[in-house]
Amino acid sequence: MGKKVLMKGNEAIGEAAIRAGCLNYFAYPITPQSEVAEYLSHRLPEVGGVFLQAESEVAVSYMIFGAAGAGARVFTTSSSPGISLMSEGLSYLAGAQLPAVFVNIMRGGPGLGGILPSQADYFQATKGGGHGDYHLLVMAPASVQEAAEMVMRAFPLAEKYRNPVIILGDGLIGQMMEPVEFPDYLKTEPTKKDEWATNGMQFRNSNKPNLVKSLFLDPNQLNENNLILKAKYERMKTEDTLFEPYNIDSPYQVLIVSYGTMSRVCKTAIDHLKENKFEVGMIRPQTLFPFPEVAVFKAASKETCKAVISIELSMGQMVEDVQRCVQGLRPVHWYGECGGNVPTPEKVMEVVKSLV
């Protein structure tokens, strides 16, 4: 770890990518994440990297495809409407098994929506967005520090699975300034890329062409490709599910499931309630896909737990995963706001207390 610096989340995300050894960035401006591009437009030339402002988010996703297909470490950042446009490319990247990192600094929707923080792209990130049977590995930071760490972790994960990874932050994570201490520079290189990347036969001393594609006209071959993808998603569940438990050893009556900025408000509410002898536990998913299914089920199973609530900056999206994991064992509730207002700890306390 280096020394602590005060940085805006968006800038920290850009710097973290460089420290992860990713020197290739293609992007299109959109609020509230444009500072990533602004930061990298001067920072990447300093380190001999590639910075290109594309003509659209659609084009960005295919510049990423081309670069990733050629074996380069590459990433982009955007916000909700932009991610919708990139979703075609995300489907192709997943189908062709290419590693790449995407960052979505979410704003409110649908449509143009607004420019303030939101978590309304949960479904889009975890359940698809593009067409076909695929998943992204979805990471959700709750601070600028964690955003930087997750970006650095995202590249090796994308390469491990040869699958796109998306960092799902909200507008506050991007815009907020916080102290951040960057982990050491990532030393690993993308491995085994000579087996699949179109990096030029002469450079890998081979006479066998590599082919990057997602078309399988033979139904058996297409099924086979989908089984390969499914096996990867199952492996993600066992090897790379991340979550943070909070006040989980207490005899809590209510279990909160919350992530990102919203989970920080929930922590404050939990602390206040604890002072009033009202115990509340929380599971904060750090990966939204794979979702911490077992952790949520176990936490909900605790004898003292009377109710579970998903608190999110959306009209009730993650709550469907929470219901799935709780399996009817406890009543599952939802509370959230959309539009850019982040609920206060007092509001969360009121909602939680009303459950029992």
Q: What is the contact surface with other proteins in residues (CB under 8 A)?
A: 24, 26, 50, 52, 54-56, 58-70, 72, 74, 88-89, 92, 96, 198-203, 209-215
Closest separation in Å from C-beta 86 to other proteins: 11
Distance (Å, whole) CA 93 – CA 244:
30
Burial of 277 (0-12, 13-18, 19+ CB in 10 A): exposed
C-alpha–C-alpha distance, residues 90 and 138, integer Å: 13
Full DSSP string of 24-88: EEEE---TTSHHHHHHHHHHHHHTT-EEEE-S-HHHHHHHHHHHHHTT---EEEE-HHHHHHHHH
Nearest approach, Cβ of residue 62 and other proteins (Å): 4
Closest to other proteins by CB, 214 or 268: 214
The nearest distance, CB 231 to other proteins, in angstroms, is: 22
Question: What's the first-to-final CA gap in the chain, in angstroms?
Answer: 44
Nearest approach, Cβ of 88 to other proteins (angstroms)?
6
Please identify, using beta-carbon distances, which residue of 74 and 157 lies nearer to other proteins: 74
Q: Which is nearer to other proteins, 53 or 341 (CB)?
A: 53
**Beta carbon of residue 79, minimum distance to other proteins (angstroms, whole number):** 20
Q: What b/e string do you get for 201-240 counting C-beta neighbours within 10 Å, with b at 16 or more?
A: eeeeeeeeebebebeeeeeeeeeebeeebeebbeebeeeb
Residue number with CB closer to other proteins (112 or 215): 215
Q: Based on CB atoms, which residue is closest to other proteins, 95 or 141?
A: 95
What's the CA gap between 172 and 227, in Å, rounded? 38
**DSSP states along 145-194:** HHHHHHHHHHHHHHHHHTS-EEEEEEHHHHH-EEEE-PPPPP-----SGG
Q: Assess contact for 83 and 104: CB atoms under 8 A.
A: yes
Copy the structure tokens of residue 13.
């995300």
> Closest approach of Cβ 33 to other proteins, in Å?
20
**Complex with other proteins: residue 51 or 123, whichever CB lies closer:** 51
Beta strand 101-106 with 137-139: parallel, antiparallel or unpaired?
unpaired
Least distance from other proteins to the Cβ atom of residue 130, Å = 10
Select 26 or 291, whichever has its Cβ closest to other proteins: 26
Smallest distance from other proteins to CB 213, Å? 4
Nearer to other proteins, 116 or 165 (CB): 165
